[in-house]
A and B are shown apart, each in its own frame.
Chain A
Amino acid sequence: MKSLYSAVTSTNILFSKNGGRIYPGEFHFGTSYYFGVSHSQINLCATWPIASNGSADHKNQFNKRSLNKISLIYRIAGSGGSLSDTQYKSQRKTAQQSGQKILLVDDSSTTLLIEEMTLREHTQYELVTARDGEEAVEKAIAEQPNLILMDVVMPRMNGFDACREMRKHEALRKVPIIMVTSRGESCNVEQGFESGCNDYVTKPINGAELVEIVNGYLVGQGQSQ
């Protein structure tokens, strides 16, 4: 059976201390909703079961009241939807903000290839690349990316040092930096956070995880701009 999709973007949702609730009146019961979320840095990209009364409950780790903007794309199993797979892909791209830029930094051509292919196919972000830490700092200053995905072990300047260097520049202080590391042990992760990075993903790169984490930082950021 052909899958059909529809989409809603920029739904404002007020989360209370104990979780959030949305009432998507026109949504279908028993469907699963796929999310890319928000400037709150909480990644909701997960299946969200819809209750029979049409509401969707989400228990989350919010510890304060916050207004979140969510790009919501949902798939309707069976008939009743209005979009084909191709239209769904197009809408999903539209749901993300165009005009945002990601700096990809890696000395590995295979990793860069997978990152570029995945992000070009599944998002609309503009991509800039660098092959080592020094080039990354130069490009970050020149290009002012909205997000940086950076390898750790690189020639000339490693990812941690490049991250520290970037944080010295006012314009780059708040830019999310996600380390792409082959070393996921806690000591390496701690070192990454100490250098000023916001998050990390481990190699080998998984496309779904990559898009999820990038959208987690950028979708909300784009809507708030």
Chain B
Amino acid sequence: MTFKSEPPSLRNIPNADLAGLERDLRQLSLRYMRQSMELPLNHNDQAVRAKLYAAANALQQAVREGMVADAIFEIGSNLIGCEQMALLVTSKKQDGVAFSGSADFNPQQLEAIRRNAKRILEEAPADSIYIKSGPEDRSFLSSLGISARIPFRLDSATKGAIVFFNLLPQRSGLDAGDRELLKLLCAYTGPCLAANQIKHQETSGWVQL
């Protein structure tokens, strides 16, 4: 594996689109905040709206500061309850996959990701969110310890995925509220990562698999 100093190559989005992306995320964040504040605390949806607000806010800040991968890991860790996450991005030039991961992987897990990166992106089907259905889930993704795989797109084409591995012990599985967060990540990770390249400030290391 060779370390790259910059994130994988996604098409740079024009500056006008970057401003639009920030505006979209800001509006989304405000909308979720209002919804969260209007609901009583004991309403099922209140916590979900609060998390969506925090996630949209984190992505907006990350686009501005050029720290998108870090923001995604923070969302996973603090809002979903998963500290083992990977970002996989397809790389046309090298016909490979670029990887950036949270700090909690052991060498065996990293090797499993390296060997199976392409298949992880292509399984179940490739353009849909996969969520492990429970202990009875015998799929390939589940066999790798994957709890969820969220594809992300740019220009209507799937460019990679966020992969959540083992959840923290207090999380027995992902629920409907988590699915809302995953949908947000599915919709915005591609454009945010592409916007990130304009800034070139990403701190998370990227590895070419």
Contacts and interface: CB of A to CB of B under 8 A. Distances in A.
B79 A121 contact: no
B74 A110 contact: yes
B142 interface: no
Contacts of A203: 77-78, 81, 168
The bracket for how many chain B residues form the interface is 20 to 34
28 contacts: A108-B74, A108-B77, A108-B78, A109-B61, A109-B74, A110-B57, A110-B58, A110-B74, A113-B53, A113-B57, A114-B51, A114-B54, A117-B53, A121-B37, A182-B77, A182-B78, A182-B83, A182-B168, A184-B170, A203-B77, A203-B78, A203-B168, A204-B78, A204-B81, A206-B47, A207-B41, A207-B47, A207-B50
A110 B58 CA distance: 7
If over half of B's interface residues share one DSSP class (helix, strand or loop), that class is named, otherwise mixed; here it is: helix
Interface of B: 33, 36-37, 41-42, 46-47, 50-51, 53-55, 57-58, 61, 74-75, 77-81, 83, 168-170
A110 B78 contact: yes
A116 B164 CA distance: 27
A122 interface: yes
A12 B123 CA distance: 62
A182 B73 CA distance: 14
A183 B50 contact: no
Nearest to A118: B50
Given A110-B74, A121-B37, A184-B169, A204 B46 contact: no
Given A113-B57, A202-B170, A208 B74 contact: no
Contact of B41 (A108, A110, A205, A208): A208
B33 A117 contact: yes
A117 B50 contact: yes
Given A122-B41, A184-B170, A208-B41, A110 B46 contact: no
A28 B2 CA distance: 71
A211 interface: yes
Given A110-B54, A211-B41, 16 more contacts: A108-B77, A114-B54, A117-B33, A117-B37, A121-B37, A122-B41, A182-B77, A182-B168, A184-B168, A184-B169, A184-B170, A202-B170, A203-B81, A204-B78, A204-B81, A207-B46
The bracket for how many chain A residues form the interface is 20 to 34
B81 A182 contact: yes
A110 B75 contact: yes
A183 B78 CA distance: 11
Interface string A90-122: 000000000000000000111101100110011
A185 interface: yes
A56 B110 CA distance: 57
Nearest to A185: B169
B77 to A, nearest CB: 7
B104 to A, nearest CB: 11
A204 B79 contact: yes
A109 B58 contact: yes
